[in-house]
């Protein structure tokens, strides 16, 4: 895999949504903003989010969006809003931790020579007993279906999320009518949902690129699921892995003769023909 100049991940704009953290902690003149109890906020899909926590407003937004298509989901979100307010900050910190761990593993992958890395992976597989063949199949399926470009896609999606989040932070502080209260604090849940969705769509400049990145991640994930569930997919993954291992010696053995047979005009097809034949 070619080494990429990955942008550093910074989470300064991704502060996990606090439980009862108000958007505006104070108003002009030092007066504290009033906070509405959760019991009044839950289930009030059309009421203004004024005074509720940021997390509660986002839960109300999600429930409002689900009202028309899945009313049961909307009701569950409102009923579980106190639990979600406690769980979402924890999930935010866990996501940050996993992202940092992922970056550390990828940095080690770029640093270690390929042979030593394969030896480390082989040593890890020794601790999986009889299930290591399934892990090999899953890894090979993921790699074949776009896993090698996964890091670039994740970095791009992270950048787009950062752009949307930065725009959201700026929007949270807007006060166009100069009344000392943020505009989003004075909107109903429905209007707030429309405003945030529109903001996200405007912030993403190249939606087709985002669609491509998500599609590659989805395809790689489906390949892993299919490999774990279907015996045919496991056999195909093993075959591709063996083809990758045999390619180098086969190219050294047959490439000169094949290049001579193809001639100067078609010699650039030599590697492709051998690789396709092996697979």
In tens digits, what is the pLDDT along the chain, a chain of 279 residues?
444 444 444 444 444 444 444 433 333 444 443 444 433 433 444 444 455 677 777 788 888 877 777 888 888 888 888 888 888 888 888 988 888 888 888 788 778 777 777 777 777 777 765 666 777 777 777 877 777 777 788 888 888 888 988 988 888 888 888 888 888 888 877 788 888 888 888 888 888 788 888 888 888 877 777 777 776 666 777 777 788 788 888 888 888 888 888 788 777 778 878 887 887
Alpha carbon distance 266, 260 (integer Å): 10
Q: What is the pLDDT of residue 12?
A: 42
Query: Domain residues of the chain, as ranges?
Result: 56-111
Q: Is the dihedral of CA 59, 65, 68, 69 positive or negative?
A: negative
Supply φ then ψ for residue 32, to 5 degrees. Answer: -80, 145
Could you write out the DSSP letters of every residue in 57-119?
A: HHHHHHHHHHTTT-HHHHHHHHHTHHHHHHHHHHHHHHHHHHHHHHHHHHHHHHHS-HHHHHH
Between 231-262 and 270-278, two packed helices, what is the crossing angle to 10 degrees? 150
pLDDT at 176: 82
Whether 89 and 17 have beta carbons less than 8 Å apart is answered as yes
Are 274 and 262 in contact, with CB atoms under 8 Å apart?
Answer: no
Residue labelled with tokens 């670039």: 152
Instruction: State the pTM of this model.
Output: 0.53
Rounded distance, CA 192 to CA 57, Å?
9
> Residue 34 gets which letter from DSSP?
P
Buried b (16+ CB within 10 A) or exposed e, 217-256: beebeebbebbeeeeebbebbbebbebeeeeeeebeeeee
Residues ≥6 apart with Cβ < 8 Å to 85: 19, 20, 38, 53, 55, 56, 59
Structure token digits, residue 207 = 């939606």
Tracing tokens 């599609």 back to the chain, one arrives at 215
204 three-state secondary structure: coil
């Amino acid at each position: 895999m070619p080494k990429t100049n990955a942008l550093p991940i910074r989470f300064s704009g991704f502060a996990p949504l606090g439980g009862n953290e108000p958007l505006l902690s104070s108003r002009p003149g030092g007066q504290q903003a009033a906070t509405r109890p959760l019991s009044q906020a839950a289930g009030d899909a059309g009421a203004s989010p004024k005074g509720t926590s940021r997390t509660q407003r986002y839960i109300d937004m999600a429930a409002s969006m689900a009202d028309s298509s899945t009313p049961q989901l909307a009701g569950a979100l409102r009923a579980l809003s106190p639990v979600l307010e406690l769980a979402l900050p924890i999930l935010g910190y866990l996501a940050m931790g996993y992202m940092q761990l992922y970056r550390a593993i990828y940095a080690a992958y770029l640093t270690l020579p390929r042979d030593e890395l394969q030896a480390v992976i082989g040593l890890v597989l020794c601790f999986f007993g009889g299930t290591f063949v399934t892990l090999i199949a899953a890894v090979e399926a993921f790699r074949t279906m776009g896993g090698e470009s996964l890091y670039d896609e994740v970095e791009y999606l992270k950048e787009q999320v950062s752009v949307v989040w930065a725009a959201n932070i700026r929007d949270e502080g807007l006060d166009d009518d100069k009344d000392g209260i943020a505009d989003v604090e004075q909107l109903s849940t429905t209007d707030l949902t429309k405003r945030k969705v529109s903001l996200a769509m405007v912030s993403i400049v190249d939606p087709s690129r985002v669609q491509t990145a998500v599609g590659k991640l989805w395809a790689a994930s489906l390949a892993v699921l299919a490999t774990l569930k279907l015996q045919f997919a496991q056999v195909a993954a093993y075959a591709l892995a063996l083809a990758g291992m045999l390619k180098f010696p086969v190219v050294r053995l047959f490439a000169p003769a094949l290049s001579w047979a193809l001639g100067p005009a078609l010699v650039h097809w030599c590697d492709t023909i051998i690789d396709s034949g092996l697979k």
